[in-house]
Amino acid sequence: MRTVFNYRKALREPKKVQQLTASYSLPIPFELIPVINFFIFMTMTFLIGQIIRMGFPHTFERTFVMWLIGLPLALTILVTKIKPEGKNIYLYFLDVAKYYVQIKLPKKRFCNDREVEWMSASTIQFKRCVKVVAKKREYIENTNENDEEQSTVNENGRRVGVLPNQESVHSHAK
């Protein structure tokens, strides 16, 4: 009997950081992606804070630590928790950008998951409806009214008719 093992959980385990140098390690491991996100957000908020302080020098005098640590930590937690369509938020935005550049901007059209190249932006116009007439140019209501059950010809010269084994259909029936 075969035993099937599911390694999905083990292979999807996120990378963790605990050993920083050869002589120093952290007491608990931290996931690598949230740590990188935190430092990226911390750098961004520090630069934005410096730009704001150039215009208003007394801004963030007492709340600079909260601005520099609290906001990046909140953003890191938010980015970790948000998973649109079950994906990482960065991969989701990358897919949205690809869709916009490859499909939306060129205005591609699809039918049954295949690109339709022959469609144009022009509108579709149908011919006007025509009445069915007999060969003698007499107007009839149904195509199978005559006794000979011959096919009748419409105004465009196309033969139309009803097979003899079909019942007549009333055009104004409800």
Give the chain's count of helices (H) and strands (E).
5, 7
Q: In this predicted structure, what is the pLDDT of residue 36?
A: 92
Amino acid at 40: I
Q: Please name every residue paired with 111 in a beta bridge, in sequence order, or none if there are none.
A: 114
- Yes or no: say if 79 and 91 are a contact pair by the CB < 8 Å rule: no
pLDDT for 134 equals 52
Length of the chain, in residues: 174
CA distance 127 to 124: 10
CA–CA separation, 40 and 34 (whole Å) = 10
How many other C-beta atoms are found inside a 10 Å radius of the C-beta of residue 37?
21
In this prediction, residue 136 carries a pLDDT of 56
The pLDDT of residue 57 is: 87
pLDDT mean values, one per 10 residues, the chain (174 residues): 84 86 90 92 94 89 87 94 87 94 87 78 71 56 55 62 53 54
Per-residue model confidence (pLDDT) at position 142: 61
pLDDT score, position 117: 76
